[in-house]
Every structure is written in structure tokens, then in C-alpha cells.
């Protein structure tokens, strides 16, 4: 993306303002072209990650450096209007912490957990937020904040974050796999995010692989792959395996995989099954996309025992080529970093339009 153009003309006061470096995030309120250019060069952007239970907001400078973070729960406030109010509250809090004002804000990028039409700025459907169907979230953000906004699926934002500053930096063909309670992929091909005609590209939780259930997926139910290696099913497998010892029933998937690495045979059987199914999914995706890299993220995907076990399965399936598996370098901040990157792109795009 190109940066904003030079101002056409500016009054002496504006020239004086350009000669003096402003305090962090302090953009002048003057509406003239020169002052606007100064605001764009020293302004701030906001990244928002909307989860099923938590909302995270980050304030960053125009280079993408995170200055402040804020978070809150969405468990009791998940309606679109209430989430918008929380975002506004978070942004105002961050601006106060950084001694900045609303006039310094250039743009907002937000990620939502569900099928999202990024071009229209609409969250089409999500099972994680009640009542979210056909929500014009971009418009709601812009109306509340008075700055350009952009909305994207949260897993695609994680891929954008890894591409811009994480494990896939400089890699134009890769897949980010978010593995947690659900499973989904953010796909980069030829340096661009792939969304698909109905904005559902990457919904690999519905993929059928050997060993997974072959029953058609019912509306609202997990897909075949997700139903086998999503977090809930991994814990269910573990509970069945150690039925006699109820003290171990509440272990998380990553704790189960850690026990497998320590030599627990029951945990190893759960890990091996999950790794085999994941390896099949990775192999099949790589055959279609010929991606050179798969980045594993999400609460379960960052498990090193899972990565290593999956790698061992893939070693047996290396024709015509075997993709490289790495753990996300951004971890839980992948979505938030992607949202900041989206906000930066949005700010530059609107700056170019004003030229």
C-alpha cells in the first residue's frame, strides 16, 4: 500500500505544526489539508478481537507498534449494540492512558468469530455470539466512532497477523490453522487472503478425513473433523480412556498432550489419534493449495507435542511435497495483531481516496 500524498497547500500555521513533532497520538484538530496529513503521519489505529467470551482492544501507532491494551468480558453483553458500546469504552480508556484524544484516531479493524463478509462489512452468522446474524458491524463501528472501519473473520485476521509480523512473515502461500474448541483455517494464496464466494473458505472443521465420522453434518452441529479433534471431543476421549480415575477428567487438551509426552500411554493414544486426523487434513489441504507452510495456532494448535506427532505422520505422506509445520509465533495475539494490520490498511486506503 502507498502512504498518503503530500498536501496540496497549507497555511503558515499548518507548516509550523509540521515542523514541530507532536506528542504521541496528539493530532491537531484543524481540518485543513496540511493538518490532516500530519494527523495521518502521527495518528493512531485500533485493533479489536471479539471472542465468544472476551473482547480485546489494542491501540497502536501508525507503524503498528502496540501502545496499550484493554479487555473485558462479553458473556453477559454479547448483543451487537452492547459490544459496540464496550468497544467505544475500551478505545476511550486506551486514549486516556496514552494521553491522546479521539481526533488522533484514524481507523479501526475488528475480527468476529463467524462467517464474515469483509467486503460488505457484515457478520453473516456466528454460533459464538447470540443474535449475530446479518449484523452490519462495519457501519455500526463507523457510526459510533466517526472513523473508517473494517471487519473480518477472526481466523483470517490471525493469518493476516502471522503474515505481517509472525511465523509466516514474507510467505505468500501458507495456511493458518486455528485449533481450539472449533477448527478453521485462514488461507493466503499469492499473497492474498482467500475468502470464497460465500465467505466460507477455510471452514475445514467440516472436512471429511479417514477415521472421522461420515454422517452428514446437522445445522448448528460441529463438522466431521471438528467433532473428532476439537477441544470438547479430545476431552471426551480422555474421560473415556481414564474412566477409573475421575481426578484426571478435567484436564485440558494441552495438558493431556503434555502427559503423552511424559509417557502416559492413555494420553498418548488420544494424542496419536488427534495427530493422525490433523495430518490427514493438512495433507489434503496441501494437495489442493500447494502451500509451503502451515502455522498452528489456537489454544490447542500451539501444543508442541501435537505439532511433533502430526509431523511424524506427515513424514509418511510426503508426495508430491510435504508442507512445513510451525507453531504460531504470535500465540493468542495473532488475531489482535491482524486487526491492527487491517486498521493500518484501512487508514492508508482511505487516505489515498482523499487525494
Residue of 176, 26, 172, 207 whose CA lies nearest to 111: 176
Q: What cell was used for 34?
A: 496540511
Model confidence at 210: pLDDT above 90: no
Model confidence at 14: pLDDT above 80: no
DSSP track, 139-193: HHHHHHHSS-EEEEEHHHHHHHHHHHHSTTTT-SSEEEEEESSSEEEEEEETTEE
More confident residue, 261 or 351: 261
Model confidence at 38: pLDDT above 50: no
Taking residues 171-194, report their average pLDDT.
95
Model confidence at 262: pLDDT above 70: yes
Which residues, 6+ apart, have CB-to-CB distance to 183 below 8 Å? 177, 204, 205, 223, 225, 226, 229, 230, 298
Q: What cell was used for 153?
A: 473473520
pLDDT of residue 188: 97
Model confidence at 202: pLDDT above 70: yes
Q: Which fold has domain 12-155+334-353?
A: Nucleotidyltransferase; domain 5 (3.30.420)
Domains 12-155+334-353 and 167-329 share a fold: yes
For residues 206 and 196, what is the distance between their CA atoms, to the nearest angstrom? 15
Model confidence at 15: pLDDT above 50: no
Model confidence at 353: pLDDT above 90: no
Model confidence at 26: pLDDT above 60: no
pLDDT band per the 50, 70, 90 thresholds, residue 13: very low
Q: What is the pLDDT of residues 316-335, one digit of tens each?
A: 988 888 889 999 999 999 99
pLDDT of residue 209: 86
In whole numbers, what is the pLDDT of the chain averaged over residues? 86
SS3 33: helix
Taking residues 224-243, report their average pLDDT.
88
Q: What cell was used for 212?
A: 472421522
Q: Which percentage of the chain shows pLDDT scores above 70?
A: 86
Taking residues 224-229, report their average pLDDT.
90
Which residues, 6+ apart, have CB-to-CB distance to 20 below 8 Å? none
Provide the whole-model pTM: 0.85
Model confidence at 346: pLDDT above 70: yes
pLDDT of residue 222: 81
pLDDT of residue 246: 67
Model confidence at 42: pLDDT above 90: no
Taking residues 197-209, report their average pLDDT.
93
The class level of CATH for 167-329 reads alpha beta
pLDDT of residue 212: 76
Strand order in the sheet with 174-179: 192-193, 183-189, 174-179, 293-297, 324-327
pLDDT band per the 50, 70, 90 thresholds, residue 352: low
Q: What is the pLDDT of residues 130-153, one digit of tens each?
A: 888 999 999 999 999 999 999 999
Place of cell 502496540: 66
What residue segments make up the domains of the chain, in order of their start? 12-155+334-353, 167-329
pLDDT of residue 2: 39
pLDDT of residue 247: 72
Q: Which percentage of the chain shows pLDDT scores above 90?
A: 66
Amino acid at each position: 500500500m502507498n502512504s498518503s500524498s503530500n498536501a496540496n497547500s497549507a497555511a503558515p500555521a499548518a507548516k509550523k505544526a509540521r515542523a514541530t513533532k507532536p506528542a504521541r497520538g496528539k493530532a491537531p484538530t484543524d481540518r485543513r489539508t496540511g493538518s490532516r496529513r500530519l494527523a495521518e503521519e502521527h495518528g493512531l489505529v485500533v485493533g479489536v478481537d471479539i471472542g465468544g467470551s472476551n473482547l480485546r482492544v489494542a491501540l497502536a501507532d501508525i507503524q503498528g507498534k502496540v501502545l496499550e491494551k484493554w479487555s473485558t468480558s462479553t458473556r453477559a453483553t454479547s448483543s451487537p449494540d452492547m459490544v459496540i458500546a464496550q468497544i467505544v469504552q475500551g478505545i476511550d480508556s486506551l486514549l486516556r492512558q496514552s494521553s491522546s484524544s479521539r481526533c488522533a484516531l484514524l481507523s479501526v479493524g475488528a475480527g468476529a468469530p463467524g462467517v464474515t463478509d469483509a467486503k460488505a462489512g457484515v457478520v453473516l452468522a456466528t454460533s459464538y455470539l447470540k443474535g449475530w446474524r446479518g449484523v452490519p458491524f462495519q457501519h455500526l463501528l463507523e457510526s459510533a466512532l466517526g472513523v473508517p472501519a473494517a471487519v473480518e473473520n477472526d481466523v483470517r485476521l490471525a493469518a493476516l497477523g502471522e503474515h505481517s509480523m509472525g511465523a509466516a512473515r514474507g510467505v505468500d502461500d501458507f495456511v493458518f490453522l486455528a485449533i481450539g474448541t472449533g477448527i478453521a483455517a485462514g488461507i493466503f494464496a499469492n499473497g492474498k487472503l482467500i475468502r470464497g464466494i460465500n465467505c466460507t473458505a477455510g471452514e475445514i472443521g467440516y472436512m471429511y478425513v479417514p477415521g472421522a465420522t461420515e454422517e452428514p453434518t446437522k445445522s448448528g452441529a460441529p463438522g466431521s473433523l471438528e467433532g473428532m479433534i476439537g477441544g470438547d471431543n479430545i476431552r471426551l476421549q480422555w474421560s473415556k480412556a481414564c474412566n477409573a480415575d475421575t481426578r484426571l477428567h478435567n484436564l485440558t487438551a494441552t495438558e493431556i498432550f503434555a502427559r503423552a509426552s511424559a509417557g502416559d500411554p492413555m494420553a498418548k493414544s488420544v494424542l496419536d489419534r488427534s495427530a493422525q486426523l490433523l495430518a490427514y487434513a493438512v495433507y489434503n489441504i496441501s494437495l489442493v493449495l500447494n502451500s509451503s507452510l502451515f502455522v498452528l495456532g489456537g489454544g490447542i494448535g500451539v501444543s508442541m507435542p501435537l505439532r511433533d506427532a502430526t509431523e511424524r505422520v506427515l513424514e509418511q505422506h510426503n508426495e508430491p511435497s510435504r508442507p512445513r509445520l510451525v507453531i504460531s509465533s504470535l500465540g493468542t495475539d495473532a488475531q489482535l495483531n491482524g486487526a491492527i494490520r487491517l486498521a493500518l490498511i484501512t487508514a492508508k486506503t482511505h487516505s489515498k481516496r482523499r487525494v
